[in-house]
Structures are given as structure tokens and as C-alpha cells.
Chains A and B, each alone.
Chain A
Amino acid sequence: MEATPDTTIRPLPAKKIAASRLSRWRWFKDAGARTMLGATAVIICLLIVVITAALTARSWPILSAYPLAELLTGQVWQPMRGLFGFAPFIAGSVAVTLVAMAFAVVPAVFSGMYLAEYTSSRTRSALKPLIDLLVGIPSVVYGLWGVLFIVPLVRDHIGPLSDRTLGQFFPFFARTNPSGYGLLAAGFVLAVMVFPLIVAVTEEVLRSIPREMRETLLALGATRWETTRCIMRRAALSGTLAAIVLGFSRAFGETLAVMMLIGNTPRIPSSLFDAAYSLPALIANNYGEIMSVPLYESALMGAALLLLIVVLGFNVMARLVIMRLTKRS
């Protein structure tokens, strides 16, 4: 195969620029900037490693004091008595995230498909502020909205209704907690919070699919929906899954809104209406008292480390998939 000629545009070679004294100074500045900025870029790349290392170092006392399995599966959280069981918090986080995903995934993927495949650029720029505003609203405002609107709704209407109907047959829908604070309220608000992220990533992935594919399908007589469906199945499936994974990890780490709505009761939830406790809420709620109890700070740092590892794992997978997809175009 013939090597493609190098068409990259470059400035003059340094030697030529460095002919005069003034030019030497220019060359020197250029080289200096290159080194310094390159170093900064590398440092930013290493920041994730630094954060992981710092959290590991801070949580080392508890990791070395208890076996990992005991920490992860322990059911009792009583730092005063030296009991650090993370299981209720992990279960709470996973449960509330799953509830959120159950609400968010289908509408978000459909919306992303609509934005990418069905809109003209004008309609799209009219719809864009909707997504931008949903992203921009602070977590605490979402939480307050949940407290003022969703919690009363769950308490007075959805809870009793579900208990009368589905709750009779499935304990999962039984109204175990009359306050309204719990998985359902927190999960719904969380769903609204991750919705714009999934929409944006799905749209980005679909937009990176080559135009010819659509043209081919439409030319073969497929309807618009058939075209979209085929593109989803054949080309964008992995990217959409990555979008969902990103949404999952965003929901998993969300702190304030969940903390305001989930009820903060450390036990493994068994019903949609149960109060639970999430990992980020555990860290945020207890930071004030960590100095008084041995190993408490270390345990909370361990919770942060656990959170980071889960989120990093999901993010790295999803981002690599998206990067491969979008680079191809």
C-alpha cells in the first residue's frame, strides 16, 4: 500500500525560524509553552489517579482493620460500636438508581432518537433549551421540588392507590411507609435529573452514524421509524447502552436530591415505598461527626472510594465505547 502523503500543516522548522535573534526568542517561547502546557495536560490526565490514590490512602485504616467482604456485606452500621456494614447503603443506592432508570431510560432514548433523527435544525434549537435547563437546575432545587410536590403525591395518591391494587399481590408494591419519603419519590426525581444526560449522549451517538446509512434505508422504501429502528439496532446499540450506563453512574453518585427524598433509613429496601439510604447521602450526612469516633472518617472515605470505583468502572467502559463509535465517522 502506498503511504499517504503527509498533508498536515506545520509551522516552519525551528531551525529556520531561529535564524535571527528576535526569532530565537519567539522559538524559545514556543518551546517553553509547549513543554509547560504539555505537562499540565499530563497532570490533568493523572488527576483521576491522584484522587483514587488519596481516597485509598485515607480509607486504608478501615480497609486493613476489617476484611473487605465483611465491610461490603455487613448489615449493621454502628460506628460507635465499631460496626461498619456498607450493605444497606449499597443496596439503597442500587435500588434508587434502578428505580430512576426504570423511569428515565425509555423516554430518554426515545427523546434522543427524536432529536437526532426527526428534527430540523430549527426545531432542534427550539428544543435544546429544554434539555439545557433540565441539566442546569441545581440538585437542591430538584430535591426541594421533590419535597414539595412528589412526596405529597406519593403519600396521598400513588401510595394508597398502589397499595389497594398491585400491593395486594406483590409485596414490592405494598405501601410500607406512609411518609412518602422513599425509593419511589427519590427515584422519580433522580430520573428527571439523569434524563437530559441520556438524551444528549443518545443524540450524539446517533448523529455520529454516517448519513449514507439513512439514505440507503430510505431509498429502499423504509419508513422513517423503520430507518431509525434499524440504525438503532445495527449501529447505535452499543452507544445507546453506553448512554444508559452513563446515566446509571450519574444517578448512582447523585447526593443532595436523593438525600432529601430517600428517607435516610439504613436498611435493605424490599418495597418501592421503603425508605432507604444511599452511599453519597451517608458521606454527606455524617461528615460533621467524623472526628469523634475512631475509624469513622476512614469509613466515610472508604464509602467515597467505593462510589468512585463503581462510577469510574462504568464511565471508562461507556466512554471507550462512545469514543470508538464517534471516531469512526
Chain B
Amino acid sequence: MKRKKLRRAEDLFFTWVMRACLMTAAVVLGLILFVIFWRGIGALSWEMVSQPPSGGFYLSQGGGGVFHAIVGSLYLAAGATLLASLIAVPVVLYIHVYSPNGRLANNLRLALDIMWGIPSIVYGAFGFALMIYLGMRASLLAGIITLALVVLPILARTFDEVVSMAPRHLHETTFSLGSTRLEFLGVLLRQTVPGLLTAVLLAFGRGIGDAASVLFTAGFTNNMPEGLLRPVASLPLAVFFQLGTPFPEVQARAYASALILTVIILTISILAQLSISRLGRHVIR
């Protein structure tokens, strides 16, 4: 009898330990958001969001904002996501249509999982090596290419999960109508578009937040993005550089920039959540 009580107590104890762990994580997340919002909101102004920096921005007397970095980050992330999805989407559909559970499919999944684990600073160094080899300078294009390498595995693996949840009878029905595999690939794409959107949003969010890969490759500038072959500013690096100055006014701008970045990321996460629940309604299950 006593032993039974002990076992039940042990069971209860560990359940609460696990809950406490998750609750701690939730509290930490809350703390992060609270600190970023609380410190950022004070320095946030319409000027911060809508204007590029004017002269002396980093010396505390200049005005202006980080509009150039917001636009730059959006360009970088959008370009990288587009490039990565142009490569990843056909290839992921390919491994499902042409070699389900084949050797190539398994190798590709393994390679993508490993690529997911490679730190973005290594991609940055690789991009830099590539730039030297091609004689390029730090530019939007180089940043996009490097960032595409960072988000490619995220996009591909997320999309892969979505495609593997497509119903099996879709497969059977399409082939029984006499279609080729390529035509089935089109059918499968239409079935998985909502999931693709989720994967794209996820990759986009990661692309906006990543700084280490664009540090060497996209450079940094105080001007608005001027073209594919010109350096471009990005929001994470703007936060980093503003924080690195010794002036409290400029550091306050870093808090505001971080708040802008966090709001963008939160918006994208919410959109991704919504895209899962809303767009999935029209899919054959």
C-alpha cells in the first residue's frame, strides 16, 4: 500500500517537473518579449520606421531612422526565399513523385538535415570565398545567394513534411487517369500549396532574422538599396551596429530597431499559423 502511494507521488512529482520546465520556457519567452517591447517602445517613432538615416546617425546628433534596413532586409529575405523555393519546391516534389523512399530521397533528406545544422556564419564565409573567386563585392545579390543557402534546408524540409502528408489515394487516382509522373507533380503541387506557403513564411522569417550570413556578403550601408550589385543594409545588423556605439541615444535606436524586427517576425509567425489553419480548408483529405 505504502509502495503504491510512493509510486503515485513519484508520478505526480515528475509530471509537475516537466510542466515546470515548459512553464519556465514560457516565462523566459514572455520576459524576452517584455524587455524588447518595454525598452524599444520608448525610442520608437514614426521617423525611425519611415526614414533612412541622415548624417551623423551613429554620432547621436543625426536624425532619421532605419527604413533603409527594413527595406534591405525585406529585399534580402524575399530574394533568398524566392531563390530557395525555386530550387527546393521542384526537387522536393521530385523526390516524392519519382523516387518515394528511394535512395536519392533519403540521401537528400539527410543532406538537407545536415545543411540545416551548419551555422550561418559558415555560409557567410563560404559566400565570401565565392565572392572573392568571382571577383564580386559585397552586394544585395551576394547576400541573397548566401541567405538562400541558409533558408534552403528550412524551406525544403518543411515543405517535404507537408508533401508527405498528402493523401495516398491522390497518387492512385492521378495515375489511374493515365497521367505521367510530371503531371502528377503538378497535381501534388496544387494539393500542397497551403503547406508551401507555411514553409515559405517560415523561411522568410528566418531569412529576415539572420545576420551572420549577410555580414560579409551583403555589407552595410546608410543608403536605401540601390541595386542588385550594391551593398544593402539589414535590420539585424542595424541593431548590432547601433548597439556598438558608445552613445545612449543611438543605443536607444538599437532597441527600437530590435522592436521593429521582433514585430515583423511575430507578424510572420502569426501569418504562418493562420495559413496552416485557414488555407488548409480547401485541400482534399
Contact = CB atoms under 8 A, between A and B. Distances in A.
A29 to B, nearest CB: 6
Contacts of A67: none
A149 B258 CA distance: 14
Contacts of A199: 25
Interface in A89-141: 106-108, 110-111, 113-115, 118, 127, 129-134, 136-141
Contacts of B255: 144, 148
Contact of A307 (B122, B210, B258): B122
Contacts of A113: 18
B11 A38 contact: no
Interface residues of B, number: 92
Interface string B177-196: 01111111100000000000
B262 A141 contact: yes
Interface in B1-33: 7-8, 10-11, 14-15, 17-19, 21-22, 24-26, 28-29, 31-32
A169 B171 CA distance: 68
Contacts of B24: 107
A136 B118 contact: no
A250 B175 CA distance: 43
B23 to A, nearest CB: 10
Contacts of A253: 118-122
B243 interface: yes
A205 to B, nearest CB: 13
Interface in B229-285: 236-237, 239-240, 243, 254-255, 258, 261-262, 265-266, 268-269, 273
A139 B243 contact: no
A308 B180 contact: no
Given A27-B180, A47-B115, A144 B121 contact: no
B180 A129 contact: no
Contact of A44 (B8, B91, B179): B91
Q: Which 8 A-B pairs have the closest CB atoms?
A: A253-B119, A138-B209, A304-B125, A114-B18, A37-B94, A255-B212, A107-B21, A315-B117
28 contacts: A9-B171, A11-B175, A41-B94, A54-B133, A55-B126, A57-B129, A58-B129, A107-B21, A111-B25, A114-B22, A130-B25, A131-B25, A133-B269, A136-B209, A138-B208, A141-B262, A144-B36, A192-B32, A223-B7, A246-B117, A253-B120, A255-B121, A280-B121, A283-B124, A284-B212, A311-B117, A311-B118, A314-B117
